[in-house]
């Protein structure tokens, strides 16, 4: 840049000397010539271009335009020269250059300068502007929540870098994170617009989902999205996840046993889990546990990394009975694994790993509010729907436990309805016999009256 400025000043000096030559002269004496006519010397500053990027915000696959603007007096037409990352580039001599679509390789710092067409003048180089291009990334989220009851509506939403425009979406369930195996949903087309909606969730919808997006022109594929689990619980699942010890919170460095039980064939099920790290793992093919007999899975040495959701999967791939299990070092809350039925009794205890016995005298909280203090166990008789919520316990010296969700089901009302229907069905035969007898009596009476009228 310094040498360019110096050359410009030299040119100006030369022009001044040529203009003044002969204006005055001395010929071997004191005589001088007349003063020449005045001339105007105009020195134009070289203009400095500016580079703009349109649009300001863009992503992988968008159409992006670079524009070089040069404003200067006395300049008419420019040939444009572009630099990328400080190196001369000949990808364009035009004022605008468009990337369609823009890719990650186009990212960099761009600057320009101009040379006068049909002349010898040229501009300064512009300041560099940075073109940032992000990879197309699909992200999935759930609305309204990932824990559902049978019959609840739910929607999985897939977006690419915050926008779903111009993309076609496919939906998969995660078979195994370690093998990178994803299974395309048979009704994946329902998510073509970015939303995969289930109007009435069923137990079979329990699982871990991912999405992927693509465009036709040009052909661009995103990587698989983040994982999004859906957990659907029901009153009477076809299989139960049995946990020993029977609670949702567990200590570290102890043994934990899980098994799937049903009335038909317990050997046809396997235990799976989804950990906080986002991994989907199978008991029979992982390092965290071993499958001993049938569907029983044993973790002989628990750690906090074992925290996650565990469920049972059938041989055909259906998922049932998810349970949220927390492994914690210190104070834990002893709470039931299965939902509590309305009218039953709920008992909660606060346990500490490093005392014998482990029971602590502690305070108990529900949804952040203190409900009972300084007791070894909290007992709630005649549980109702209002008792549903997040519970935890807190000891002034040992600390507090993680939170556990206590679910309450209205199974008693269902039993009452079934009992009523059963009673009605039991009474129905007697009602039917009564109606038949009344009808026969009526027919006999009508026949008797008709005979009397005939004889008369």
pLDDT in tens, 409-450: 875 444 344 344 444 444 445 455 554 555 555 556 545 544
The last residue of a domain, from among 217, 233, 249: 233
Check the CA dihedral 245-250-251-253 and report its sign: positive
The neighbour count for residue 361, using CB atoms within 10 Å, is: 12
Residue 444, in any domain of the structure: no
Residue 162: per-residue pLDDT: 57
Does 244 share its domain with 206?
no
Residue 87 has pLDDT above 90, yes or no: no
CB-based burial label for 213 (10 Å; 0-12, 13-18, 19+): buried
Residue 19: per-residue pLDDT: 46
User: What's the whole-number mean pLDDT along residues 27-36?
Assistant: 66
Which one has a higher pLDDT value, 451 or 188? 188
Residue 25: per-residue pLDDT: 52
Q: Cα(395)–Cα(34) distance, rounded to whole angstroms?
A: 110
Does 79 share its domain with 112?
yes
Out of 226-230, 290-294, 362-366, 403-407, which region has the weakest mean confidence (pLDDT)?
290-294
| For the ranges 61-75, 170-184, 405-419, the one whose mean pLDDT is highest | 61-75
Q: Cα(81)–Cα(94) distance, rounded to whole angstroms?
A: 8
Residue 16: per-residue pLDDT: 45
Residue 365 has pLDDT above 70, yes or no: yes
Residue 97 has pLDDT above 70, yes or no: yes
Does 419 share its domain with 337?
yes
Residue 456, in any domain of the structure: no
CATH of the domain at 189: 2.60.40.10
Residue 106, in any domain of the structure: yes
Residue 7 has pLDDT above 50, yes or no: no
Residue 208 has pLDDT above 50, yes or no: yes
Residue 263: per-residue pLDDT: 63
Which one has a higher pLDDT value, 176 or 329? 329
Residue 29: per-residue pLDDT: 57
* Structure confidence at residue 261 as a pLDDT band (50, 70, 90): confident
Contact 135, 60 (CB under 8 A): yes
In 3D, which of 161, 66, 70, 137 has the Cα closest to residue 108? 66
* Structure confidence at residue 281 as a pLDDT band (50, 70, 90): confident
Residue 342, in any domain of the structure: yes
In 3D, which of 133, 66, 128, 86 has the Cα closest to residue 106? 133
* Structure confidence at residue 21 as a pLDDT band (50, 70, 90): very low
Place of tokens 């469920």: 311
Residue 194: per-residue pLDDT: 85
Mode of pairing for the β-strands spanning 340-341 and 408-409: parallel
**Residue 2, both tokens:** 């310094």
Q: How many residues are present in the chain? A: 456
User: What's the whole-number mean pLDDT along residues 90-116?
Assistant: 86
Q: What percent of the chain has pLDDT over 70?
A: 73
- Rounded to 5 degrees, φ, ψ at 342 are -55, 135
- Rounded to 5 degrees, φ, ψ at 284 are -75, -10
Residue 69, in any domain of the structure: yes
pLDDT in tens, 283-342: 866 666 666 656 788 998 999 999 999 999 888 888 888 999 999 999 999 999 988 999
Does 87 share its domain with 172?
no
Does 308 share its domain with 351?
no
Which one has a higher pLDDT value, 454 or 342? 342
pLDDT in tens, 370-380: 999 999 999 99
| Cα distances (Å, whole numbers) of residue 173 to 138, 201, 284, 355 | 15, 16, 19, 43
The last residue of a domain, from among 233, 252, 283: 233
In 3D, which of 102, 105, 17 has the Cα closest to residue 55? 102
Residue 167: per-residue pLDDT: 83
Does 204 share its domain with 285?
no
Q: Write out the chain in H/E/C secondary structure.
A: CHHHHHHHHHHHHHHHHHHHCCCCCECCCCCECCCCCCCCCCCCCCCCCEEEEECCCCCCCCCEEEEEECCCCCCCCEEEEEEECCEEECCCCCCEEEECCCCHHHCEEEEEEEEECCCCCECCCCCCEEECCCCCCEEEEEECCCEEECCCCEEEEEEECCECCCCEEEEEEEEECCCCEEEECCCHHHHCCCEEEECCCCHHHCEEEEEEEEECCCCEECCCCCCEEEEEECCCCCCEEEEECCCCEEECCCCEEEEEECCCCHHHEEEEEEECCCCEEEHHHCCCCEECCCCCEEECCCCHHHCEEEEEEECCCCEEEEEEEEEECCEEEECCCCCEECCCCEEEEEEECCCCCCECCEEEEECCEEEEEEECEEEECCCCHHHCEEEEEEECCCEECCCEEECEECHHHHHHHHHHHHHHHHHHHHHHHHHHHHHHHHHHHHHHHHHHHHHC
Residue 51: per-residue pLDDT: 95
The last residue of a domain, from among 233, 258, 285: 233
- The count of domains in the chain is 4
Mean pLDDT of the chain: 80
* Structure confidence at residue 34 as a pLDDT band (50, 70, 90): confident
**Residue 434, both tokens:** 């009564």
Which one has a higher pLDDT value, 293 or 116? 116
User: What's the whole-number mean pLDDT along residues 234-257?
Assistant: 89
Residue 163, in any domain of the structure: yes
pLDDT in tens, 117-144: 877 888 999 999 999 887 778 999 999 9
Does 127 share its domain with 158?
no
Does 210 share its domain with 158?
yes
Does 49 share its domain with 130?
yes
Does 217 share its domain with 246?
no
Residue 147 has pLDDT above 50, yes or no: yes
CATH of the domain at 290: 2.60.40
Q: Does pTM top 0.75 for this prediction?
A: no
Residue 18, in any domain of the structure: no
Q: Cα(27)–Cα(269) distance, rounded to whole angstroms?
A: 119
Contact 59, 47 (CB under 8 A): no
Does 349 share its domain with 405?
yes
Check the CA dihedral 316-319-321-327 and report its sign: positive
Domain range holding 389? Answer: 330-424
pLDDT in tens, 264-276: 665 678 899 998 8
Mode of pairing for the β-strands spanning 220-221 and 181-184: unpaired
Q: Residue 276's beta-bridge partner residues?
A: none
Residue 58 has pLDDT above 90, yes or no: no
Does 267 share its domain with 182?
no
Residue 244, in any domain of the structure: yes
Residue 35 has pLDDT above 50, yes or no: yes
User: What's the whole-number mean pLDDT along residues 22-50?
Assistant: 69
| Cα distances (Å, whole numbers) of residue 63 to 3, 96, 213, 299 | 38, 13, 18, 53
């Amino acid at each position: 840049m310094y040498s360019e400025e110096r050359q410009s000043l030299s040119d100006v000096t030369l022009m001044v000397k040529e203009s003044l030559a002969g204006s005055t002269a001395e010929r071997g004496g004191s005589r001088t010539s007349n003063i020449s006519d005045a001339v105007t010397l105009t020195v134009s500053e070289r203009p400095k271009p500016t580079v703009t990027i349109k649009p300001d915000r863009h992503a992988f696959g968008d159409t992006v335009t670079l524009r070089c603007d040069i404003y200067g007096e006395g300049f008419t037409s420019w040939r444009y020269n572009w630099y990328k990352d400080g190196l001369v580039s000949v990808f364009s001599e035009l004022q605008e250059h468009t990337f369609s679509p823009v890719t990650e390789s186009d990212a960099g710092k761009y600057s320009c300068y101009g040379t006068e067409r049909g002349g010898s003048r040229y501009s300064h180089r512009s300041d560099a502007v940075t073109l940032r291009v992000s990879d197309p990334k699909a992200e999935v989220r759930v609305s309204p929540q990932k824990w559902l009851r049978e019959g609840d509506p739910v929607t999985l939403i897939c977006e690419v870098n915050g926008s779903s425009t111009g993309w076609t979406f496919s939906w998969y369930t995660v078979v195994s994170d370690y093998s990178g195996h994803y299974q395309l949903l048979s009704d994946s087309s329902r998510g073509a617009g970015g939303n995969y909606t289930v109007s009435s969730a069923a137990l079979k919808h329990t699982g871990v989902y991912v999405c992927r997006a693509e465009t036709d022109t040009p052909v661009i594929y995103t990587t698989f999205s983040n994982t999004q689990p859906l957990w659907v619980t029901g009153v009477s699942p076809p299989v139960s996840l049995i946990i020993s010890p029977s609670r949702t919170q567990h200590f570290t460095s102890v043994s934990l046993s899980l098994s799937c039980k049903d009335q038909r064939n317990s050997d046809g099920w396997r235990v799976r889990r989804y950990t906080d790290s986002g991994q989907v793992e199978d008991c029979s093919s992982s390092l965290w546990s071993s499958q001993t007999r049938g569907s029983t899975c044993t973790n002989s040495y628990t750690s906090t990394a074992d925290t996650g959701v565990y469920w049972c999967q059938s041989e055909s791939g259906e998922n049932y009975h998810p349970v949220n299990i927390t492994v914690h070092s210190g104070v834990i809350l002893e709470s039931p694994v299965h939902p509590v039925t309305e009218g039953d009794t709920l008992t909660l205890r606060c346990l500490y790993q490093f005392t014998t016995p482990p029971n602590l005298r502690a305070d108990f909280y529900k949804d952040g509010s203190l409900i009972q203090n300084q007791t070894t166990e909290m007992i709630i008789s005649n549980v109702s729907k209002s008792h549903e919520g997040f519970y935890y316990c807190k000891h002034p010296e040992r600390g507090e436990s993680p939170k556990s969700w206590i679910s309450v089901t209205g199974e008693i009302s269902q039993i009452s309805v079934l009992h009523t229907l059963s009673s009605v069905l039991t009474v129905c035969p007697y009602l039917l016999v009564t109606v038949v007898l009344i009808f026969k009596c009526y027919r006999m009476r009508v026949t008797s009256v008709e005979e009397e009228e005939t004889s008369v």
